[in-house]
Amino acid sequence: MVILGIDPALTVSGYGAIKVTDNKVALIEAGIITTSAKSSITERLDKIYRGILKLITDINPDCLVLEKLYAHYRHPATAFILGQARGVICLACATKKIPLIEYGATRVKKAIVGKGLASKNQVARMVADILSLKEIPRYTDMTDALALALTHSYVKRAKI
């Protein structure tokens, strides 16, 4: 099974793809899709959309995993902006007929680190360890995306 995890954002969206064979997990690819604050919102969303479509075409995942939307009530604009980025990712899934799975942040942290209130740094270190990476990726957006993919692999194996 090939799982593509996406950590959506308007400026830097992280992605990570893993392949699960039997009880082994291997990294396929990880990276980021960036947009410029100088570009219009439509240009930025189009770049994310096209980037996700290209990833789906290149990687051919069995499913795509996103983090459930969460926003603090003091920052409603953040939820709106994140919702737009998530929307084009959901549209890409629908266009390519890829199943979309969502997990909450605390569920992912619990699956990867063992506690739902783990820090981004703890998640990054565990992802690097699980995937036998020589170093922790520079962007936590990438490790967050890989954590989403790994969480889904754990959930799928637990149901078998």
- The one catalytic residue among 43, 46, 67, 144: 67
Closest to 147 (Cα-Cα) out of 48, 159, 122, 160: 122
Q: Of residues 22, 58, 135, 141, which has the active-site annotation?
A: 141
Q: Active-site residue among 7, 46, 62, 144? A: 7
Residue 149 is encoded by which pair of tokens?
Answer: 């993919």
Q: Output the CA–CA distances (angstroms, integers) from residue 102 to 3, 91, 95, 141, 153, in the order listed.
A: 12, 15, 18, 16, 13
Q: Is 144 an active-site residue?
A: no
Active site residue 67: yes
Q: Does 43 qualify as catalytic in the annotation? A: no
Give the number of other CB atoms < 10 A from CB of residue 158: 8
At residue 65, the 3 state secondary structure works out as strand
Show which residues are catalytic: 7, 67, 141
